[in-house]
Amino acid sequence: MLVAEVGPGADLGGWVDDDLQGGVRHFGMKVADIDARVRDLAAAGVAVLSPPADVLGGVRIAFFLDPDGARLEFVQGDLRYQHVSAPDLAAAEAATRVAPGQRPRFDHVAVTVEDLPAALDGFGYPVIGQIRHHDDPRGFLMTYLRAGPAVLEVFSFDVPVRPRPLRTPGVLGFQDVAVLP
């Protein structure tokens, strides 16, 4: 992965912080003690968007911004899927715990797609499981794929999704993700 600094006033390529826009939403990292990690971030002046909270799927999550405004997530615990497609992959994912004292470990990339069946066919990765947010009026479904050593967290909705920003040659900033073997 290549990370490049984008200075003040740079063109973000049309990205907006809204799950209903297609494209990359955030990166997630597993941690052993999310509360301590978020306290450390806040003490260092990092913008914490949402403090640690227990959420659907039995995990504890928190969102924060990196210095350039990219959304990042900490995840603590083992995700429990409402629908398991591949029990062996779910068990393997649960086994990737971060031990106390270890640094955060890259876990997943979250993307919003306009057409879930087409995206799943295009990605070509096996489905681990799914979680539907039944209380979300947008019909929010999260589908988890095993993408090499990481997870691809695919957001889809029953309502229309705005197209992802077009790739713009010469515009700095994150425009795409690929998971390579």
Q: For residue 62, how many C-alpha atoms fall within 13 Å in the half-sphere facing its CB?
A: 23
The DSSP secondary structure of 21-32, one letter per residue, reads BSEEEEEEEE-S
- 21/159: higher pLDDT: 159
Question: Stretch 103-121: mean pLDDT, rounded?
Answer: 94
Instruction: Give me 101's structure tokens.
Output: 């004292």
Are 42 and 133 spatial neighbours (Cβ–Cβ below 8 Å)? no
What share of the chain has pLDDT > 90, as a percent? 66
The chain-wide mean pLDDT, for the chain, equals: 86
CA dist., res. 83 & res. 144, Å (int): 10
126 pLDDT above the threshold of 90: yes
- 3/6: higher pLDDT: 6
Beta strands in the chain (DSSP E): 23-30, 48-55, 59-65, 71-76, 83-84, 105-112, 127-133, 140-147, 150-156
Question: Stretch 109-130: mean pLDDT, rounded?
Answer: 95
Fold of 23-156: 2,3-Dihydroxybiphenyl 1,2-Dioxygenase; domain 1 (3.10.180)
108 pLDDT above the threshold of 70: yes
In angstroms, how far is the first alpha carbon of the chain from the final one? Answer: 13
Tokens 């270890």 locate to 102
Q: Please report, for the chain, the start and end positions of each structural domain, with discontinuous segments joined by +.
A: 23-156
| Confidence grade of residue 172 (pLDDT, cut at 50, 70, 90) | very low
DSSP alpha helix (H) spans, the chain: 34-43, 87-94, 116-123
**What is the torsional sign of CA 74, 79, 81, 84?**
positive
| Confidence grade of residue 142 (pLDDT, cut at 50, 70, 90) | very high
